[in-house]
Amino acid sequence: MKGPVFPCRERVIQGRGLFGYAVDVHYRSGRKGDSRELAELISLSSGGVVDYLYHGVFPGRSPVRIIADILEDDIYPITYKNAIVAEHKGLIAGMALSFPSRFHGVNPVLASSLPPEQLDHMHDFYLARVDDSWYADALGVHERFRGQGIGKRLMELTEERAREAGYGVVSLIVFADNTPAVNLYCSLGFRVVRRVELAGNDFIHHTGGCLLLSHKLNRHASRMHSHRE
């Protein structure tokens, strides 16, 4: 069963004014042709989870290639249609992928294709959710574009998408030791719901597990005036 897909209004943010956003960054909905680069950013933002889950699953296909194929084939919820893309002079600078939280978990595709021991390792991660929320599954910005407010703006646009879909809460999972990301989310109003158990291994180089965060949205928040629609 597919969930809702809401296109992102195309917009350009120019200059580094009041909100400190990067110069000439264009925000738009994901396109099928973006799938490879979206997959790279999803893998990058996963902190090793994508490599852990998909290494060696399909001989001859890398974890990034597998995710790209899923995105391109529009297999909900991991579809290019659920992505918001930040673009600078034709280059993808970052992306955010989100969907209703009820789709966060072990779906039939995962259950049928991944080794049970790998899914068992991710058990608490896939059980952790805030019911009836909009789930920010991935947020990734290429290193050369970091520090310019792109991640913050992608999260704000994710919140707009949640409001448009009728959701009043956004949730996400972040590694507890990823201090820059935790600080970003806290600055946007996210608060810790609970700790999520996820042990590190040869692929996941994090300690301390993860945090399930949520943020109650102001449904009447006005759009910022730093962009042109």
pLDDT tens-digit profile, the chain (229 residues): 556 655 655 554 444 433 455 568 999 999 999 999 999 999 999 999 999 999 999 999 999 999 999 999 999 999 999 999 999 999 999 999 999 999 999 988 788 889 999 999 999 999 999 999 999 999 999 999 999 999 999 999 999 999 999 999 999 999 999 999 999 999 999 999 999 999 999 999 999 999 999 999 986 554 433 333 3
Residue 222: the pLDDT is: 40
Q: Which residues contact 158 (CB under 8 A, 6 or more apart)?
A: 84, 96, 98, 134, 136, 139, 170
- Residue 97 structure tokens: 């992928």
Give 195's strand partners.
Answer: 211
Q: Which residue has the tokens 């897909």?
A: 5
Specify the fold of 11-228. Answer: Aminopeptidase (3.40.630)
Spatial separation of the C-alpha atoms in residues 77 and 5, rounded to whole Å? 9
Q: Give the ranges where the chain is alpha helix by DSSP (H).
A: 35-45, 49-54, 63-72, 108-113, 116-121, 123-127, 150-164, 179-187
pTM of the complete model: 0.88
